[in-house]
Amino acid sequence: MQPFPRPGRYALHLAVVAVCYYAGAQLGLLQALVNDQVTPLWPPTGVAVLALLLGGLRMWPGIAVGALVVNSAVSNAGATLLITVGNTLAPVVACLLLALAGFRREMDRTRDALALVLLAGFAAMAVSATVGSAALLVTGVIDGGLFWSTWTVWWTGDVLGVLVVVPIALVFGELRPRSRSARWWLEAAALLLATAAVMTLASTHNLRVMYVVFPLLIWAALRFQHLGTAPCALIATTIAARGAARGTGPFADLDLVVRMVTLQVFNGTAVLTGLLLSAVIAERNAARDAIERTVAQLTEVVARYQPPPLGDLLPPEPRKGR
């Protein structure tokens, strides 16, 4: 268990969490699809899960304060309180489930990627979607016909917030810039620029070529693992969500439900492909490195072993009589 920080330091940590939550919410609300409140990509959820992973469950008051400020735009005070509770409880549930699954922040195992997707994403985020959508329904902000579309956008938005924000923050904490060559940086820059260019073209023109980004995600996973797929997934999902919010490109002339389904299927497929493929390759690389270390150790042992001369191994010749 991590030691509890001093009160002043703890308050500062909570304030940082609340500010980051609020900033992420303002970015997410730029892409709102339902009543300027429900967005297909909700970064604050990823910020909340990350804060709990790094600082422990004691960071939940910072999440609650940030969520309360963000949700104060809802006219009904009861709905604001309920949504805040849901937004705080879902990341706590996510971190508890990850702890039970033995999640490692390096995400160098396939089981870590699956735990993040299935437990912290799909399972835990149903809490906030259910509480939030029910609060909007009960207080009359939405009618019964919009409940399931609101729930789906809320849930997938929270899931994508976790799957986009958490990996990129965790892997960049492990980045050692000085250990990378100039060629590595040039290739990484080319990958990010290509992803941005493809997604910008796909989301603004009615060519329906969004899925051209998948070879880039595979390239990122093969060459950079999470260091490549995390920023590429962030770029792809953000640009796609922006296109859906504006109704441009492949999202033009689509009603809300079809637009939402098209966007979330693409975003979910892109993030899951990159995350799981990166984890599989990282695990394979770790196994290969372990085998190479074992072979090197065996080679060193064999080199150190000096067998006795062949003559010492032969029995002495018997003496001949006269």
pLDDT in tens, 265-278: 888 889 888 888 99
DSSP string, 281-308: HHHHHHHHHHHHHHHHHHHHHHHH--PP
- The pLDDT score that the predictor gives to residue 41 is 82
Contact 229, 278 (CB under 8 A): yes
CA angle 43, 44, 47 (to 5 degrees): 95
Which residue carries 């892409």 as its tokens?
31
Q: Say which residue, 305 or 75, is predicted with more confidence.
A: 305
- The pLDDT score that the predictor gives to residue 2 is 55
pTM of the model: 0.82
Candidate from 33-47, 89-103, 290-304, 305-319 with smallest mean pLDDT: 305-319
Instruction: Label each residue of 234-280 as H, E or C.
Output: HHHHHHHHHHHHHCCHHHCCCCHHHHHHHHHHHHHHHHHHHHHHHHH
DSSP bridge partners of 34: 38
CA distances from 263 to 38, 95, 151 (A): 14, 27, 15
CA distances from 174 to 5, 55, 167, 171, 224 (A): 24, 17, 11, 5, 13
Instruction: Quote the CA–CA distance of 228 and 230 in Å, as a whole number.
Output: 6
For residue range 37-66, list pLDDT tens digits in order. Answer: 567 788 999 999 999 999 999 999 999 999
- The pLDDT score that the predictor gives to residue 5 is 65
Residues contacting residue 263 through CB under 8 Å, at least 6 positions apart: 40, 240, 241, 244, 251
Average pLDDT over every residue of 170-181: 76
- The pLDDT score that the predictor gives to residue 126 is 94
Average pLDDT over every residue of 21-47: 79
Supply φ then ψ for residue 38, to 5 degrees. -105, 125
Average pLDDT over every residue of 150-174: 86
User: Residue 136: pLDDT band by 50, 70, 90 thresholds?
Assistant: confident
Percent of the chain with pLDDT over 70: 89
Q: Report the interhelical angle of 43-55 vs 77-100 (nearest 10°).
A: 50
Q: Which residue type sits at 104?
A: R
Average pLDDT over every residue of 201-213: 85
Q: Residue 140 is encoded by which pair of tokens? A: 């009359």
Average pLDDT over every residue of 153-176: 85
Residues contacting residue 141 through CB under 8 Å, at least 6 positions apart: 35, 37, 74, 75, 76, 79, 135
Residue 100 clears pLDDT 60, i.e. is over it: yes
Instruction: Quote the CA–CA distance of 15 and 280 in Å, as a whole number.
Output: 37
Candidate from 86-90, 203-207, 209-213 with smallest mean pLDDT: 203-207
Which residue carries 């441009």 as its tokens?
248
